[in-house]
Amino acid sequence: MNQKFSSSVLRDARRVVVKVGSSLVTNDGRGLDEQAIGEWCRQLAHLIRDGREVIMVSSGAIAEGMKRLGWATRPKAVQELQAAAAVGQMGLAQMYETKLRANDLGSAQVLLTHADLADRERYLNARSTLLTLLKLGVVPVINENDTVVNDEIKFGDNDTLGALVANLVEADALVILTDQKGLFTADPRKDPAATFVSEAKAGDPALELMAGGAGSSIGRGGMLTKILAAKRAAGSGASTVIAWGREPDALIRLTQGDAIGTLLIAQTQKNQARKQWMADHLQMRGAVVVDAGAAAKVRDEGKSLLPIGMLQVEGEFSRGDVIAVRDETGLEVARGLANYASAEARLLCRKPSAEFERLLGYAAEPEMVHRDNLVLTR
């Protein structure tokens, strides 16, 4: 019998973000590890057959680019790193596409920057693209868009990107695969007395003191960025596990609850976390007044708000801004992220989605506020 984690968060996880680091993907800088990538893709297919949705966040572009360009040492100049990433990303995407296809899975390349996810409109766009890909059963393969980032806005490490993606799609779990078994009380490459940490609370400050920088010349972030990623992922209710990427059947076993790796458990529930996030971070920009039917659907049935139930639009807002949903008596029912800017929303009041294309000139979401982006006001 395999040792199990005390919590069932990984077993229960329906939507999982898997992040693999440069040191693993490129076998410590020796070019893409075809066999390892093939193995993870086989396991991803297993998870999907099991009814889960998966998103891959994969590093490796710079290391693969360096190999393709014949560079033995990592360049210092940021434009050379960016050039290497652009060269290497071709190979990375090609490898995932081949290996996922061998497992009857479609794949999609998504390149993101931190700035993309900080911008409300791009955030919503990235979110709807990813959720649509998941609905289509396609595996998104994400990396940082190294071409357009500079020092200030660079993630610098893909652990942070993994966490931001987990926040974006409200994943249940973030799996960080690396070249160590998980978190130790100190860097095991430097301290032979370090002991293994099997489970902890995500966000516990004691963990940050244990984690050091990268142990290899290829990896960038080290353990600290993984611990911070777990804290960030926990912000939207996702638990994180850090595990050794070459452990046989690691992904399959983790989702069966096997205690391989370090499990960092989120302390807030997904719904609670979203509510808190909306309350803390977002300023309201406007409101829509809805009829009694729409108010009841949103409040009592947890449904999305559709434009057909909207009577009036107040204020000026953009797509991605937070708006209030009020009933005819002026009472706030909920607040959430607007899919349409105020000018468009005015055109859509009382209209069924079949008419949106004629009214706007393009066909977009049928909802004014999707229920995933809606928080009820108590």
Ligand X SMILES: Nc1ncnc2c1ncn2[C@@H]1O[C@H](COP(=O)(O)OP(=O)(O)O)[C@@H](O)[C@H]1O
Ligand Y SMILES: N[C@@H](CCC(=O)OP(=O)(O)O)C(=O)O
Pick out the residues of the known binding site for substrate. Answer: 59, 146, 158
- Strand pairing class (199-201; 173-178): unpaired
Binding-site annotation, residues: 19, 59, 146, 158, 178-179
Contacted entry of ligand Y, ligand X, none for residue 180, CB cut-off 5 to 8 Å set by kind = ligand X
Question: From the CB of 237, what's the least distance to ligand X, in Å?
Answer: 23
Type of residue found at 125: N
22 binds ligand Y (CB under 6 A): yes
Report the site for ligand X in 214-253 (rule: CB under 6 A): 214-216, 219-223
210 binds ligand X (CB under 6 A): yes
159 binds ligand Y (CB under 6 A): yes
91 binds ligand X (CB under 6 A): no
**How many of the chain's residues bind ligand Y (CB under 6 A)?**
17
Angle between helix axes 158-168 and 222-234 (nearest 10 degrees) is: 10
| b/e map 293-319, b = 16+ CB within 10 Å | ebbebbbeeebbbbbbbbeebeeebbb
Question: From the CB of 338, what's the least distance to ligand X, in Å?
Answer: 36
Question: From the CB of 14, what's the least distance to ligand X, in Å?
Answer: 25
Contacted entry of ligand Y, ligand X, none for residue 178, CB cut-off 5 to 8 Å set by kind = ligand X
Give me the 121-160 binding string for ligand X, x by CB under 6 A, dash otherwise: ----------------------------------------
Q: Which of 33, 39, 144, 170 binds ligand Y (CB under 6 A)?
A: 144
Q: Which of 17, 54, 85, 164 binds ligand Y (CB under 6 A)?
A: 85
Question: From the CB of 221, what's the least distance to ligand Y, in Å?
Answer: 5
Check residue 338 and give left, alpha or beta (phi > 0: left; psi -120 to 50: alpha): beta
Q: Which of 39, 97, 116, 146 binds ligand Y (CB under 6 A)?
A: 146
Residues 32, 24: Cα–Cα separation, whole Å = 9
Q: For residue 355, with 0-12 CB atoms within 10 Å meaning exposed, 13-18 middle and 19 or more buried, which class applies?
A: middle
Q: Which of 80, 119, 121, 187 binds ligand X (CB under 6 A)?
A: 187
Q: Which of 182, 188, 203, 221 binds ligand Y (CB under 6 A)?
A: 221
Residues that bind ligand X (CB under 6 A): 21-24, 178-180, 183-184, 186-189, 210-212, 214-216, 219-223
